């Protein structure tokens, strides 16, 4: 599977590199969602940025520890779902 596949950050497998494809978006225009999306933008979840999920909480796979650029943030699943990523295929030619 070398085709580019878009997924949300919360679906990115642990340890897999990805790049942010479409920065945070406010899915259903509530205030909290918009604020969340804007802050994600401000802390660096912007197009082309490299991200990697370093750890996941238990149970339920949240929160996620996400390395973004040179920083690491703990995000809840609903936050991670606001970021679209493309997995980087390590073996791509």
- The residue among 2 and 15 lying less far from other proteins, judged by its C-beta, is 15
Chain length of the chain: 93
Task: Give me the least distance between CB of 3 and other proteins, in Å please.
Answer: 27
Q: Which two tokens stand for residue 7?
A: 């997924």
Shortest distance in whole angstroms from residue 1 CB to other proteins? 25
How far from 48 is each of 31, 57, 69, 85, CA to CA, in Å?
26, 26, 10, 9
Q: Evaluate whether 51 touches 67 at the Cβ level (below 8 Å).
A: yes
The footprint of other proteins (CB under 8 A) covers 23-24, 30, 32, 35-44, 46-47, 54-60, 62-63, 65, 67, 69-76, 78-79
CB of 12 to other proteins, least distance (A): 15
Q: How far is the CB of 37 from other proteins (least distance, A)?
A: 7
**Distance of alpha carbon 68 from alpha carbon 49, whole angstroms:** 7
Which of residues 5 and 61 has its CB atom nearest to other proteins in the complex? 61
CB nearer to other proteins: give 5 or 8.
Answer: 8
75's tokens: 């995000």
């Amino acid at each position: 599977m070398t085709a580019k596949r878009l997924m949300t950050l919360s679906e990115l497998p642990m340890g897999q590199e990805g790049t942010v494809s479409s920065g945070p978006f406010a899915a259903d225009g509530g205030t909290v969602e918009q604020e969340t999306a804007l802050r994600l933008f401000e802390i660096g979840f912007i197009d082309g940025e490299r991200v990697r999920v370093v750890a996941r909480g238990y149970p339920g796979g949240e929160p996620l520890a996400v390395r973004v650029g040179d920083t690491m943030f703990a995000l809840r699943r609903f936050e991670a779902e606001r970021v679209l990523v493309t997995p980087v295929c390590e073996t791509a030619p």
